[in-house]
């Protein structure tokens, strides 16, 4: 379905990957920890390894939460677009199949936020 319009109506999307100076957008959400009010948007090089994402990018972002230091990363469940998903830690984001504007989430079993409130 398209817009009802008086003449042809088609536009270039504003957020094509080439607009991001060599990066691509990746969205990341931590389940059951809504003290961080929304998932995050990161502009990242597609060559970055998944390990670097977890070990370098995420700690300053989520480290404020007392649960973050308690995460057992081996037990973490990952989801891509809501479906269970298994990342390869030492492969690049590209090799992990993460395209521009993909969304991943992680669930940390046993950790359910401040006083179990999912905050």
Partner 1 sequence: MDMQVAKKKLGLKEKYQVMTRDLNWTPTYQKMEDIYPYVHYEGIKIHDWDRWEDPFRLTMDAYWKYQAEKEKKLYAIIDAYAQNNGHLNVTDARYINTVKLFLTGVSPLEYMAHRGFAHVGRAFPGPGPRVACLMQSLDEMRHFQTQVHAISNYNKYYNGFHDFRQWHDRVWYLSVPKSFFDDAITAGPFEFMVAIGFSFEYVLTNLLFVPFVSGAAYNGDMGTMAYGFSAQSDEARHMTLGLEVIKFILEQDPDNLPIVQRWIDKWTWRGYRVLTLVAMMMDYMLPKRTMSWKEAWEIYFEENGGALFRDLSRYGIRMPKCAETIRFEKDHLSHQAWCTFYNYTAATAFHTWIPTEDEMQWLSAKYPDSFDKYYRPRWEFWREQAAKGNRFYNTTLPMLCQTCQIPMLFTEPGDPTKICYRETDYKGMKYHFCSDHCKEIFEHEPEKYVQAWLPVHQIYQGNCFPEGTDPSAEGFDPLKAVLQWYNVVHGRDNLDFDGSEDQRNFAAWRAQATRNV
* Cα-based angle 62, 65, 71 (whole degrees, multiple of 5): 75
Q: Taken in order 26, 61, 104, 117, is the CA torsion positive or negative?
A: negative
Query: Residues 49 to 88: which contact partner 1 by CB under 8 A?
Result: 61, 64, 81-82
Calpha distance 35→23 (Å, rounded)? 27
Distance of alpha carbon 89 from the chain centroid: 14
Question: Rounded CA gap, 46 and 60, in Å?
Answer: 20
- CA torsion, ordered 69, 91, 106, 45, to nearest 10 deg: 90
Q: Which is nearer to partner 1, 89 or 102 (CB)?
A: 102
Q: How far is the CB of 19 from partner 1 (least distance, A)?
A: 5
Smallest distance, Å, CB 58 to partner 1?
A: 10
Binding residue (CB under 8 A) for partner 1 from 73, 91, 97, 118: 118
29 binds partner 1, rule: CB under 8 A: yes
Among the residue ranges 48-56, 70-78, 84-92, 101-109, the one whose residues contact partner 1 (CB under 8 A): 101-109
**CB count in 10 Å sphere of residue 67:** 18
Residue 38 found at the interface with partner 1 (CB under 8 A): yes
Binding site for partner 1 (CB under 8 A): 1-6, 9-16, 19-21, 23, 25, 27, 29, 31-32, 34-43, 61, 64, 81-82, 99-103, 105, 113-115, 117-119
């Amino acid at each position: 379905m398209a817009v009802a319009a008086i003449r042809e109506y088609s536009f270039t999307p504003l957020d094509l990957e080439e607009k991001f100076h060599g990066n691509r957008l990746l969205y990341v959400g931590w389940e059951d920890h809504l003290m961080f009010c929304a998932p995050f948007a990161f502009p990242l090089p597609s060559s970055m390894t998944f390990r670097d994402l977890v070990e370098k990018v995420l700690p300053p972002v989520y480290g404020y939460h007392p649960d973050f230091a308690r995460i057992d990363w081996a037990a973490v469940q990952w989801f891509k677009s809501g479906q269970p998903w298994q990342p390869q830690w030492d492969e690049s984001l590209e090799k992990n199949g993460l395209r521009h504007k993909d969304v991943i989430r992680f669930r940390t079993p046993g950790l359910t936020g401040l006083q179990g409130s999912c905050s």
